[in-house]
Amino acid sequence: MSNPKPEDLVQIQYENPPKSWMDPAVEFRKGTFCYSALAKNLNYLGLPNPREWQPFDADWKLPADWKRIILDGMKERLERFRSFRLFMDICVRCGACADKCHFYIGSGDPKNMPVLRAELVRSVYRRYFTPAGRLFGSLAGARDLTEDVIKEWFYYFHQCTECRRCSVFCPYGIDTAEITMIVRELLNLIGCNINWVLEPAANCFRTGNHLGVQPHGFKDSLDFAVDELEELTGIRVDASINRKGAEMLLIVPSADYFGTPHYYTFLGYLALLHEVGVDYTFSAYASEGGNFGLFNSHEMIKRLNAKIYAEAQRLKVKWILGGECGHMWRVLHQYMDTMNGPADFLEVPVSPVTGTRFEHARSTKMIHICEFTADLIHNGKLRLDPSRNDRWTVTFHDSCNPARAMGLIEEPRYILRNVCNQFHEMPENTIREQTFCCGSGSGLGTDENFEMRMRGGLPRANAVKYVKEKYGVNLLACICAIDKATLPPLLEYWVPGVEVAGVHELVGNALVMRGQKERTTDLRGEPLVVEEAAHA
């Protein structure tokens, strides 16, 4: 089946559905769901109920006591997570969140309204955990837990990218992303998970990174990048792996050294860190900052994240610097310290170049490379020639996790304004805390889910289209590895002619390095559009 055309997908019906929301029946239409996780990945991770099945099968081969497992799992989580219990109880159904989800905007399906998405599980909570639901059933908004409800949960809680946009608008602070995380965790208990989450998680558990790149492959990639950067700049940088006693450990998403356009960002890091002369090392075992455990369960988050502090301790570094990644920062900011800390063996990060002490990281001991670079620029430590980015008219996409989960909003903009001459913001209600998701986060970036990804990405693409037509924007900068993988096909679909880049690719382009040869190309190997400014 070929993918639908944009002119077909924009015919969105925002109408009342023909049947009651309580009816759980779901049609697993191709293009709108993700395939199940392969048994080998469940086996590898030691997860329950490995088997061959697909969501469109009539028989999901659930364990005989699946209902008890789910209800016990709910009970345990209601007791363990105060937020979950609160979010089940306090929604007043005011509707403020209803039109804020990109999946609702792009699909018109009411069950993609955050409030109704949560009702899919809240109704089961009422039925089994509240007196009113037990006594009055559907009159109290309660539903029985059936296999159809499980299928409905699988469908709609894998049409939520855990982006948290809805939570910004909820007067009670209800975070539907947290509800989605819990429901996915419950589904996990009976073996209903998707491959695009568990395959990266299994790879990460085996080799330290989502792509399954082994240590020698990681070294090859790094060597290749060092050679290529030398060709482009005339400067050979030293990028070590597993070097004990380095000042800092650099952790990046694995896509940075294997994917495009991520790779140009990776070249940007290498150029920058060489130019300012910092003492850092990579780790072949913590060769991934991203954490697909976030899309599976709290337990998996902890398992995959543990390697970061473990490697920092083994290599005896002082602190950790992290690259451009989205969910890596959600995990770092909200979980790492309590799950795998305290990291008492590390020091509060201090820039060896400027002396700035990053007090906000005194607990985690890890800072974002945008914080590090913005501080360098602020202290006048970089020589920058923004004209090297003159072929780009740039806008910035706030990646959901860095923006909403950790407030990294000003630093990337400050950097971009210093390394580019032409920068324009998208409309205010589509950026910063209100940013729209790429539509493919939380493990939903699969080919089989293409239609739903394009629908979910429509609001983001629409804002890009606006600045493309108004200012001639031809580059969308971002600081997330998933964005760099999923925004190019999204923009090709909705807004052809706009490319995607990491912020540190643009830093690497603009950076004037001591001893460099005359730069004739950018990091993509494309000719610079203006004469090299005189920087002796």
Binding site for ligand SF4 (CB under 6 A): 91-97, 100-101, 103, 114-115, 117, 160-166, 170, 172, 174, 176-177, 180
Collect all residues with Cβ–Cβ distance below 8 Å to 197 and sequence separation of at least 6.
37, 292, 295, 296, 442, 443
Considering the complex, state which of residue 115 and residue 343 has its C-beta at the smaller distance from ligand SF4.
Answer: 115
Residue 477 Ramachandran class (φ > 0 left, ψ -120 to 50 alpha, else beta): beta
Smallest separation, CB 202 to ligand SF4 (Å)? 25
Considering the complex, state which of residue 117 and residue 388 has its C-beta at the smaller distance from ligand SF4.
Answer: 117
Smallest separation, CB 400 to ligand SF4 (Å)? 8
Distance CA 291, CA 331 (A): 7
The angle, 0 to 180 degrees and rounded to 10, between the axes of the packed helices 262-275 and 503-510 is: 50
The angle, 0 to 180 degrees and rounded to 10, between the axes of the packed helices 410-419 and 369-378 is: 50
Smallest separation, CB 358 to ligand SF4 (Å)? 29
Distance CA 241, CA 264 (A): 20
Distance CA 283, CA 274 (A): 17
* Cα atoms in the 13 Å half-sphere on the side-chain side of 366: 26
- And the tokens for 56? 């469109």
Collect all residues with Cβ–Cβ distance below 8 Å to 338 and sequence separation of at least 6.
none
Nearest one of 357, 307, 360 to 333, comparing CA atoms = 360
Considering the complex, state which of residue 12 and residue 96 has its C-beta at the smaller distance from ligand SF4.
Answer: 96
Q: What is the DSSP letter of 260?
A: T
Smallest separation, CB 152 to ligand SF4 (Å)? 15
Find out whether 149 and 192 touch, Cβ atoms under 8 Å: no
Torsion, Cα of 154, 155, 157, 161 (10° steps): 130
- Give me the sheet containing 366-368, strands edge to edge: 240-241, 280-282, 248-251, 319-322, 366-368
- And the tokens for 156? 């709609």
Considering the complex, state which of residue 342 and residue 427 has its C-beta at the smaller distance from ligand SF4.
Answer: 427
Smallest separation, CB 151 to ligand SF4 (Å)? 19
Collect all residues with Cβ–Cβ distance below 8 Å to 455 and sequence separation of at least 6.
9, 103, 106, 107, 439
Smallest separation, CB 350 to ligand SF4 (Å)? 36
Considering the complex, state which of residue 170 and residue 367 has its C-beta at the smaller distance from ligand SF4.
Answer: 170
- Identify residue 176 by its one-letter amino acid code: T
- And the tokens for 85? 């219990």
Smallest separation, CB 211 to ligand SF4 (Å)? 25
Considering the complex, state which of residue 121 and residue 267 has its C-beta at the smaller distance from ligand SF4.
Answer: 121
Considering the complex, state which of residue 143 and residue 164 has its C-beta at the smaller distance from ligand SF4.
Answer: 164
Distance CA 359, CA 350 (A): 9
Smallest separation, CB 396 to ligand SF4 (Å)? 20
Considering the complex, state which of residue 171 and residue 380 has its C-beta at the smaller distance from ligand SF4.
Answer: 171
Smallest separation, CB 484 to ligand SF4 (Å)? 20
Smallest separation, CB 89 to ligand SF4 (Å)? 11
Considering the complex, state which of residue 143 and residue 307 has its C-beta at the smaller distance from ligand SF4.
Answer: 143
Considering the complex, state which of residue 111 and residue 413 has its C-beta at the smaller distance from ligand SF4.
Answer: 111
Considering the complex, state which of residue 483 and residue 505 has its C-beta at the smaller distance from ligand SF4.
Answer: 483
Nearest one of 359, 350, 356, 276 to 320, comparing CA atoms = 350
Rounded to a whole number of angstroms, the CA Rg of the chain reads 24
Cα distances (Å, whole numbers) of residue 398 to 99, 348, 407: 20, 27, 10
- And the tokens for 381? 């430590």
Smallest separation, CB 377 to ligand SF4 (Å)? 32
